[in-house]
Structure formats: C-alpha cells, structure tokens
Structure 1
Amino acid sequence: MKLLLEKCRNSFEPEWQKALDFIEKEELPNKRRALILTEKLREKLSGQMPKWLQGDFLFHLIKLFSFSQFLGDFLIKHTHKLPELKEIYKKRFLPSEFRVELLESETEKSFMNRLRVYKNLQMSRVVLRDILGIADFQELVRDVTLIHDACIKAALSFAEKVLEERYGKPSCGFVVVDMGKAGGYELNYSSDIDLIFVYESRYGETTGGSYGKLQNHDYFTILSKYLVELLTKNTDEGICMNVDLRLRPNGTMGPLCNDIEALEQYYTAVARPWERFALLKARPSAGDLMRTGTEFLKLARAFVFRKYIDLTLIEELLRLKELIKTKVLKKGKKIDLKLSEGGIREVEFIVQAFQLIYGGKHPYIRSKNTLIALRRLFKWGFLQEKEYEELKEAYIFLRKAEHMLQITNFRQTQTFHPESEEAEELAKKMGFKSREEFLEKLQHLMGTVNAYFNKFFPTGDRKPLSAVTTLELQKLGFREPEEVKRFIEVLLNLKTLSAEETNRLDVMGERFLELLFDAPDSKNAMKNLVTFFEREEGRVFFFSILSEIHAIKLLFFLLSTKDFFIKRFRETPEIVDFIFNPDYIENPVTKEGLRQDLLEFKNLRFVKNLAEVRALLRLRLKRTEVEEFFKELTEIADFVIDTLYENSPQAFSLASLGKHGSREMNVESDIDLLFFSEKPLESTEGALKLIKELESLGYEVDTRLRPFGEKGELIFTVKYFREYTEKTARVWERLAFTRFRFLKGNLREEVEGIVKDFLFGKPLDKDTLHEILTMRERLERELGKGKNDIKYSAGGVVDLEFIAYIYQLYSRRQFGNTLKALRALSEKTPEFKKLTRLYRKIREAETEKRLFGSFITYSDRIVQLKKEIREAFGEFVEWIKKRV
C-alpha cells in the first residue's frame, strides 16, 4: 500500500495530492480500493480537478470508493453524473421526488440503460448518506425501496405504452405487488425484489391494436413478462434489479399473473400457512392502485388475519425455523446475518408471528415495516420495554451489517467467514477498531435475539401444571415452592372450574408458572386468582384470553396488587369486559370522558372502578408517568364528587385539602373535605349524606382539617373561617392550606381570597420557619418508624412536601401541587433541579408499596433514595435559612 501511494504521489498533479493525503490519514475500510478508484477518476478527468469536485465532495467520494467497488466503477464510468450527485446527496428526498419520466420516442435499449443509470445514481446518494451519517436506518431503507418503486413504475408505464400500441387497452386494471422487505419499505441495498402480478378480472379483452386483440389473461401475462425483462435484462449498464416471482400462487408452477377471483379461490382453499407470512408484507406499488390494489389488499387481509387468536401459526413457524437451520448448517463456519440463529430472520419471525397470531383481533399491532411493528408490539403490551429495545438494537445492527457486506459489489449476500479479510473490512465499515470487537458485539446481539425467539416460540413438550414438582418450582426461582405447589393443587381442584377449564389450565404447564413468576407479587397473584375464578365473569374472561400471553401478563399484574384490582372486581365484575379496551388505555382519564361513560353505563360505581383500573393500566403500559397517574385518580374523585353534588344540590360550598386538593391522589389516598356556607345552616344532613355516599364508593373522607378539627362545626360560615384564619389558625394549618382547592358552590371568590390572605398575608419569618422545621422533626420522631417507612422518616415523602410548603410561603405563590412547587424552585435555583426527580422516584416507590404491600423494583434502592432526599432537604434548609 505504501509503495502504491508513493507511486501515485510521483504521478499525481498538485491539486490531486490532497486526495492522497486524505487516503493516507483517514481510517478507511479499504485504502487500496479507494486509491485505485481515485487514480481511475483522475485519469478519466485527464488530471484536471473540476470546480465541482473540490472541497468536501472529493473526500466524501473517496470514502464511498473505499466502501463500494460497484458504485466506484459506476461513477467513474459516468463522471458526467458526479455534479448531479453533489447536488442531491445532502438533500432529504420526499417520496414524490423518486420518479423516472418517460421520454418521447425512446427506444427500449435507451430506456433500459437510462433506468439503470438512474437507479445506480440514486443508490450512490443513499450510500453516501449512510456512510457519512446523514440519514438514519429507516430513511435509508425507505429511500432504497422508493428508488426500486420508481423504476418499477417507469418500466410498467413503458411496457403498457408499447403493448397498448400492439393490442389496445385492457378492460380492467393491473397492479404490481411488492412482497418481502420491499412491501415494508425496508429494502436492502442489494435485494432481490419479490413481486406478484394481479389484474382485476379474466373476463374481457383488449380494445385491439396493430397486433389485434387479446383476452385479459393473455394480455397481462405478456405485460408481466415484458415488465420483468425490462428490469432484469443485462444491458450495457448491467441489470436494474433481480426479480423473484416465486411467491405467486403455486410458485413457479403457477401462472405468471392472477386475477382477483383466482386469488380468492387459491387463498381460500389451497394456500399454505407460510403464504400468510409472505402476504403480511404485500403492498401494491405500481399500476391501478386505487381499484385493483385496494381489492387485492382487502382479499389479502382476510386471508392473513383471523378474527380470533390464531395459534396454528406457531407450528408452521417452528417448521420454517428447522428448514432454515438445515440450510445454515451446510455453510459450515460461515456467519449468516440473515439465517443463522439470532439472525435477521428470527427478529422478523418474532414480529410476524405476533402479528399473524394476534393481529386479527388486535389490528393496531399490524404494520408491514418491522421496526414500526416492533414499536406497536411494545406499545400494546406484547413486548416489554427491555425486549423491544434489545430486539430493535439487534435488528438495526444486523441490517446495517448486511448492508455493509452487500455494498462492496452490490451482490445479495448475507454470509462471511469470521476469520476472513472480508470480516476485517466489514468491522471497519461498521465503525469498529478491530474484527474481534465487531464479532463480539455481533455474537452478543445474535445470542439475545435467539434467546427471545426460543422464549416466545419454545420447542419441545410442556409438562402439565399438575406434574410440576416442588424441586422444579425451586429451580424456577420461586422463594416459597411448597406454598406455590399447594396453590396449584387448590387451583386445579376448584369446584367453580369445569373439567374442560381445569384441563386447559393444566396444559399451560410451565408457561403458567413463568407468567406467575414474572408477576410483581406472585403470592398476591395466586391468592387473588382463586378469588377471580370464584366469579363466572372472571373464569369466562380468563379462558377467553388464555392464548393472549400479553393479556394474561397484564391480568397477572392486576391480580398482583394486594386488593386494588380484586376489590373493584368483586364490586363490579363486569369491568373485565372493558379493562383491555384499546381506546380506554390510550385516552387520558378525564371528567368529560367519565361523564360520557356514566351516560352509557348508568352506574357510578362501575364507571369509577373501571376508570381506576384503567388509570393503573395506563401507568403500567407507560402511557402515563406517576404524576399523571395521580392526576387521573384525582380526576376520577373529582368526577364522583361532582356527580354526587349535582345530583343533590346543596346550600354549602365544597373545597379540598391534602393529596386530593393538590391533585396528587395515590392508591388509598383519602379525601380531605371542607364545607362552607354563607350563613349558619341548621342541618348538616346534606354534608353527612355526601360523605356517606363517597365512603360507600370506597373513598375515606377526612374532615378534621376544618377549623378546630373534630370539635369544630362540620359546615362553617365564610365569616367564621376568616376570623379563624386571622386569629386562631396555627402554623401547620398554613402548610396544609398550600394544597387548598375550591371544588363546588358559589363562594369561590370569597373563600379563595381568605386562603390567599391566610397564606401570604404576612411573610415567612425566622420564628415561623423554626416552628415548621421543629414540626418536621417531631413527625419524624413520632411517626417515622421502621426502615420501610417512606412517608415520615428521614428522606421520606414528607421531606420533599415540607420543602414545597416552605417555598410556597417564602415565594408567596400558591402552586397547589408539590411537584409544581419543586419544579418552580428548581427553575429559580438550578442546584435544586434534582428535587423533581427525587419526588417522582419516592412517589413511585410509595405507589409500588401501596399497590403490592411491599417494594418490588425499589426494594434495593429505597435506602439510597431516602439518603439523597435527606441530603437535599438539608441543603434546602441551609439555603432558606439564609434568606428568611
């Protein structure tokens, strides 16, 4: 390489020396290739350095040469295209910009050559954007697909023009259907294009031309053959693309094109299961898209997707996997990025199998594009976040490696020997310093994919649930295997289960145990499942989703909660018919939506219970963060209060304090209510009735924050409230009223004015601050018991709440919400930016403990979290002392 460089230095003109400097210094995958192609370019340009080649474009071109022999040869042959490439390679194209216009009176030979030049120039643009890091993976494969689509559309238009002169126009439409990766807009740099040809009806003929008339089928057969020839014939510019037609009905034995009626008969009676996999990505790309294309898609959807959960595909999937394994074994030590265990095909199988099995009943998980489909499977709970992220990372890495392997000579290849020079170059193309580093990463990702494939689609016989031993339960990781074994026996001997239901449960075997083990709290899930089966609604629901693993996972999550779900299920068992409704999970819980639900269901308890379970599922499926979960629980409570208040108009106004007042209600939060009136009321019957109705719906109502607490009047006048706040109220009540929120009635302006004067009528002074801090110490000393207390103990929730109380009094602004107050403080004083994160974490831990009775994900983190919060509290105390 050094000798070659030296030789070139002696012969290259001064303006070309910088190209040699770049090759010598830059980390290129193949310096020799880059140098040889650069020398050829210089010779083609007669040693001249045109203006359009100067600057970064020259270096980018050299980099392209080092990656691809094929594109280098093409660009040197067509140097007149380089200025055009320079203009387009940094630009992001819209789909409409990929097109090849037909020219008047153009010969077949000229058209085919022009088509191939267009395709290779556009591929040069795409590859440049790839190796320079200008475009992401999804844009790259989309553009490759659109380039091929443009070529097919142009070839079809040319073929139709030629054949219409000979035979006239046909009586119906014709469409080219992309299959495989082209159908999902994720085509490789060097893929065969899988196509099928479809026309509307065999009944009819062409209008006639210089060669006479033809029946529709004969005409479209000729059209299909001519179209393939235009794309695949080897010309001066090579071929445009390889076309594979074997995915058509009956493969190579079947007709080249089929009408809709023939396809319907085939897919209804003859088609094999693997053809459903193939049609999953079918996309009409050229021709009569509106009519024939739409009819074809309608037919394909009916064949591909079943209205029920279809598990018959798993057997076919495993059969295909074994066939692929046999092929790969013949390749010896070579690595096959596509077909080896953990390769691209296994990721595609996982995605396609989920879509085919569940896509009929759950259309929102369908997508022809693998990455989009992966995202939807995660979004709708079929994949956990870790599974989604790892499969996505592996898929993109494998596809990029496949591209870099194909890019050299634009051959459709996915295999390489790990000890070859090809592997060395591939590692450099992928950005690794060494082949070993690349292979280590590759093997790790492929191992991850294969582990997931075997997890989702395991082979071998499953042991029935009844045959699982205590020792096996221990090996599976259960901490109390004897108790789990006893639970299994109770479950399989439940009198409420029919013999068929017991058998269906028994044959779930280890899958049932895996789901149980994955539940946040297996013990709660076991206990509550027995209760769940005692009701007919529970049994019917469980066995209706038995094959939907993602739904069973969610149900086990709900059953893991100590009594949150099972209590609501006992009260309103019919909620199970709605809890997994996609609209309920996707849309936020609002009072307006709840009002619509009440109009539909006419049962306040049912609407409340369903909404609360729905809010929890939205949190579990990451549609909300913890603060939004609190807001939705508060919204439900507000709706219930509004409904009860409006159904029985009262003479009093209503306000709230505590977590309800600040819109931060958690699981089991009580509601602190205040009742105001303009003048003394003779009876408290209306207030007591409202409290009783709220308690009957599961809320705990606390009225002890009223003036003088339990000794004071339940309903008090505005005048009395004003006098109390001016003369009697204590410091702790000022803290409580930072969470004041007016709810119902006609006294809003007067009451809110009194609260504002009470909170901010006098500034925060040293004595008040001292009293507040002493109060915090007393709460910690008297109530902060045990290492698992995260409310009152050092570093508990109350530390952060006291920061929010104090800051609101100091800043004379009522944020009415702990997180808002902490956020305002952090915006004003960046050193406290961590407070919002800490507050979210401690409230997440609190939620976990309230739901499951113990810490699940936070069990190992709670001590450190409390330590951080206490340190932050100390920092705030020092900060505020200097300012008061």
Structure 2
Amino acid sequence: MENFGRFANKDLALEAFQDFSEFARTQFKAHPEWEEWLKSPEISDPTHYRGLGRLKIDWEELANCSLNLENRIDALKKLKQREILRIGFFDFALVWSLEEVLKALSLLADFSIEIILDLAKAQLGFPAFPFAILSMGKLGGKELNYSSDIDLLFLHNESNGHHDMANRLGKKIVQLFSMAYGGFYRIDLRLRPDGNSGILVPSIKYCEYYYSALGESWERMALIKARKSAGDSALAYEFEILRSLFSFPRHITEEMFEEVFEIKSRIEKELLDESTKKRNIKLGEGGIREIEFIAQSFQVVYGARYPILQSRSTLETLEALTECQLIPRKEMEALKLAYYFFRQVENRLQMVADLQTHLIPENIVQKKAIASSLGLELEPFEEKLETYRMTVRKLFSSIFPLSKEKGESIFHFEIFPDPQKAYKDIQSLLDSDPIKPSARVSKSLKRLYPILEETLKKTVDPNLCLSRFVQFAEKYGTKAMLFESFASSPKALELLLRLFDSSSFFTEILLSQPDLFEEICRSDGLYTKKTVEEFFNELGRIEKDHRTKYRLYRKGELFRIFLRDILGIASLIDIEEEYTALAEAILKHACNLCHAQSNAIIGVGRFGGRELGYGSDLDCLFIGNNLNGALELNRFLSEMLPSGILYNFDFRLRPHGEGPIVLEEEMYEHYYRSVAMFWEIQALHRARFVCGNEEYGRRFIRFVDDLWVDWSRRIPWKEFFELREKIQKERDSSVPVECRIKTAPGGLMDIELGLQIWLMGKQIREPSMWKAFLLLEKEEGHTARLAREGYVFLRRIESVMRRERNSPISVLPIDEAAREKLARMLGFDSKAKFMEAYFTTLESNRLVFEKLTSQKPP
C-alpha cells in the first residue's frame, strides 16, 4: 500500500488523526457511517475535487430532500462537520498543502453562506432585488481556518425602497445561522460601516459615503480581503470598485505605518497579558497578525502605485512586495516560512476540539502532540516557534516605529495677519460630519498641519488662502480623503493655494466644480498647449444643449490654462495664443450652429493679434449681409446663463463705431477709403480672417493690405502724435497718470503705437506684436530687446491684475495694501522695489517710442 502523506498508509493516518483530534472522535462516534464515508476510495483520494455542485448534492442527500427548514439547516451543519473531517484528515496527514487546506475550508464556507441566503429568501418570499453577502478577513482572502468566525458584510443597492426588505433579509440570515449554532459557523458583522451601532444592511451608497468620509486606516486594511461570497454579482462588483479606491488610495502617507503600530500596541495591551504574549501565535509578539499587518500596510500605501500588491492572499502579497522591491527577498522568504508554519500550528490547535484558540498549550503532553502532528519533536518545534517569532518581530520593528516619540502637531498662527480668523478657519476644518464627527479627519488634518503651514507661508494673503481652502474642503465633501491626498502630494496643495491666492474668479469656478482640480491635475493637460484644431475637435464631440455645455467646457479650459500660467509652465505668449485658439474654436462652431457662416468674421485688436488674455472681449468686424445670423451668433456667445457667458463681442471698430453689426464689403471699402481717420487705419494692422465666408474674408484682408501700404506712403504724423497725447490725457483720467499701465507715457500704448508706426514706415502689416518684435530685431536689435522687455513687463502686470476677476483692468491699484499685494504676486519683495522697476520700465518705454517714431519727426 502506498504511503499516505507522512504515514505508511491511510488506515494509520486515520487512526492517528482520531487520536489527535477530540473533535474527530466525537463526530465519528455520533456518526459511525462518516468513518466509512471517509475511507471510501473517492472521498479518501486527496486529488478528488469536491466543488459547489458536489456539495449541494450531498447536502440534499443529508436532508433526505426534506423541505422542512430545521431539517435543511441541520443537514447543512452536518455537511460542514463531515467536510471538516475530510479536510482535517488530509491536513493532518500532510497530503495537502496549507494553501489547499485553506481554500477548501473557504469554499465550504462560501457554499454554506449561499445556501443560508437562499433559505432566507425562500422563507421571506420577497421579490428578487439586489442583495449581496461580502466576506472579509480570512474568508475574504480564502485563508479560512477550522474554527474561525467568518466576517461578513450584507449589502443592498437602495433602489425602489429595498431598505426594509434588505434589513429583514439580513435579520433572517442572522437567525438561520443562529439556528445551526454549535458546530456551525459563527458570523461576525462588526466590520460593517459604523460597527455594531451601524445599519445591519447598509446600501452601496451609504458605504461609499462612509468609507470616503469616515473610514479609518484599519478599515482600509480590513477591506483589502473583501469579496463576494453570495448574492448579486453586479452589486458586488460595484462594491469592488469602491473597495479598490478605498483600500488602495492614490494619496496616502507612510504615516499609515505609525497608525498600524498603534493598532498592534492596543491589541497587545488590551487583549493579551504577559503570559500569553508569546504563546498567542496570532496576536502575540511576532505572530500571524504582525505578518498580516506588514503585508496590508504596504498594500494600502503602495497598492495604487503597484497593482500587483492588490491581492487578497497574504502569501501572494509577500511575494509581490519583493517584486516591487519594497522588502528584500531574503526577508520575504523568512516571512513566508513563518506565516506558513504559524498557520499550520493554528490549524492544529483548532483541529483538536474545534475551538477558536491561538494559544500554544503550556501542558507538555499537549504541546508534544501539536509538534508531532507536524512531524516534529518537541525541541525542534519550540525552536522553530521562537526563531520565526523573533524573525517576524525584528522585521515588524524595523518597518513600524515602535519607539518613535510622537509630538502633537501644532499650527503656528503667527504667520497670519489675522490670527483669530485663521484659528476659526482651522477649527472649521476639524469639524467633520455634524452627525458623526470623524477621528480620521482630525488625524489626517494634524498630519497635514506642517505642510499646510509651510505652504501658506509662501502665499501673498495667507488668511484669504486658508479661508478659501476651508470653503473648498466643505465643497469637496470628504475631508479626510482630501487631507490625506494633500499630505502625500504637497505640490498639489501648493498649486491649490497659489490658485486661491491668484484669482477670485477661478476660485469660484473651482468651488462650483471641486472635481475639476483633480481632473486637470491627473491629466496631462497642464503640459499641453492646445491648438485651434484640438479645441475644435473636442467641442465637436459635444452633443445637444450647446449653449450650456460650451460654457462649461470653456470654464474648464480657462481653468486649465490659468493653472498653466500660475505654475509657470506656459509663457505669456503661450497663454495668449491658447486663449485665442479656444475663442476661435468656439466661434467657428457657434457660427455653424447659428447659421452665420455666410458672413466673414475678421478679428482685430488683440483677437486679431492672437493675444487674448484674461477677461478679453472679441474685437471683430462682420462682413456680409446675414444680419439675423450675426445677431443670433452674438446672442449665443453673450447671453448670460447660470453657467455664465462665452464671450462678449466688441464692434466699436466698425464704420462710425455704431449702426448694424454686419456690413457688406463695399461699405467697408468706401468707409476706409473715404471717411476713416488715421487711427482707424492703424487699428486694421491687426486684422486677420478668423472664420465664416472665406471668399469675403480673403478679399477683405487683401483690401486691408493694400490700404496699409497706401497709407504708409503718407503717414499723418501730426494727427498721430495729437491722438496719442489726447488718449494719454483723457483715458483713465480719474487715476494718476503714472498708474495708467496702458496710456501713461511709456505705457503699453506707446510700445504698440510705436511698433505699428515703425511697421507702417517699412510698409509691413503684421497682426502679431510678438512677430513684430522679431521683425524689429532684424534691424534694431537693442531697441527690439528693450521694447519686448518693457512690453512683457507691463503685460504681465496687467495679466496678474486681470486674472483676479477675469475682467479688463489697465490701471495700478491706488490702495497701498493692494499695491503691496500686487508687488508680491509679481515676485517682488516689496512695493517699493516693484514701483522702482515699474517707473524704470516706463522711462525705457518712452525712449523706445521716441526711437521707433524718429524715422520722421512730428
């Protein structure tokens, strides 16, 4: 006869098994036929697979096909006990590996849960509705032992008033498990949201809220092993997505390891005394729980980064930790050997009397029996226990901060101009759910304190930034998750606070759409400069309700470009060109939607030069005879909806600055040839065809080019300088002249007019200022450099001021505090240094203007 594991044959193995296990002796005595069943060729064959189908057939046979509930429950209990004998026999004889034993025990539990669920449904007679039973702990990981509780979570989908039915079904399941009490499974429902005080059958929606807002670190670890054991697969899949996001968060700090140590310390302090710390192979020093904590802690912290770590199996996870280079292979192998041995010992301890115990017996005889069941003498057995315990404890101690002194996180309010206001804001951050305050929020915020404080120090207005951060946290909804995210991503927090510091307008966008921030930061959009074609194609995928959806799309894109600006990823030129491309793409689609494409749209001003900035209107000329289409287009873009407007048109450069907004090309030609003043001709230097009727557009641009050359031969210098002086004197006259960024001597207008008149003198028409600087550079390198530097400096000031409310503004603030803030926003240490640079730039720009207009004195 062939050997049977560590025994000479099956009979000797069975005899030894009964000698060792009081549970086996009791069961065989109560059911003598079970011994013959176990000896039968098929059942005693370790390679024979007994799946769910075979178990169901056996259960029906044990119930004698009775429909009586008590009989069927009793038959299920008997099936469980009989199968445990078979699994235990193969385990004891060492013909099955540990993995085979644990999977067989877990399969048996899954089958029993499925049957109990079916019986409960039949008893209540409810119509079918989504309900699932999820297993956690050892059963969830398919690592169940002989006498473990099974950790379960009941779940329903909260649709069509299913809550009451789900709750009644949950109670019935609990009742049926209790009917089989004694030799059957003990279920533990304490891992559900809110524990014993929580709803017996929570909905998927409540679980989503609970885990995102209130879930603690230990719950992240517990849910790693969660899986469906019975019930609705679609509902279980929904939970699987939730579980994955919660247990493997994208943002979590390594302080998670400190929390795990605290949990382990409480276990040792509250559940163990000195006499059991080394005898308890599960909870004691260097025991199973420490190995599980090592695996699960790394899974929570690094699982999102390394999907291979998202296994429910402890042994598989340990192997994956080495693959991810988080634990050296030598240490991983030691942990696996220890885990394997401890789980075998745990099984032997529970195999004796079917009791949930993890204590190595003090009695020498009993201890020898455990050792012998593993094929060991007592001394080698004890040496193995001690060696593995010390190995695990040493590694656990190297990973977790066992002796680290943890100081209380303190927020320093002296960094704020208004410390009392800041204190109130910090307190409001600590207030979580008014119904159930969360310790997780407090912990995660205190973890964030040093990063938040350091980042606020860099802001211009820390009080304002903190207040806006409070508003954002309230809108975001799950404070703990938000704080954990920023604690692990300080750069994201710095960007958010810089945003709050830079613009009220974009703060309001973010507060209305909090998800926008993460959505943009996670994409590669911050590093992408989109073209007209790319914007046009994305808009083309929008269907229906274009008025609202275009506005929302534009807000999102404005927000993305704004972030590129404040991060310094994109230059001023890039920002202007991308804003212009966005406007152009929207205008092209809107033209088609409003049936206005028979008109040609000519961009002038900054739109024509592809230099749109924050709050810019679209300076346009409409050429054609489709007035209705033009009016509809104007309404489409400028109508104020709850989602805002798209763009306002500025038609002031049309003939006479009034009258119909669309004119035929002959009228334009007549006006510009016979009526227009020189400044109106100058304004055409930025004209370019944007969209609509291409034939009209190209003809008009050819006309403008000819007109430009014609006027370049007879520049009215006197009119030019008089107009410049008039504008400088009258525009923005309510503020001191030196505060007028645009019209002050040496302001933006001087660079623009100077460059225009220089180009006209060369008979060159170039709509783009940036390209015009390059043309100037070919002939006047030094002048071009000064002109460009002065222009960029003033445009940057203008841009920083305009982005606050996304509205036009061209004068410096009069208020000293506002001017100080502006200086710091621009990177200056003080207002004085900023104003010194500003006046130096105006003086330089005046000289540049004189140089550019010196080709013909006034």
Give the alignment's TM-score, normalised by structure 2: 0.46
Q: Which has the higher contact order (CA 8 A, sep 6+)?
A: 2
Select the structure of larger CA radius of gyration. 2
Give the alignment's TM-score, normalised by structure 1: 0.45
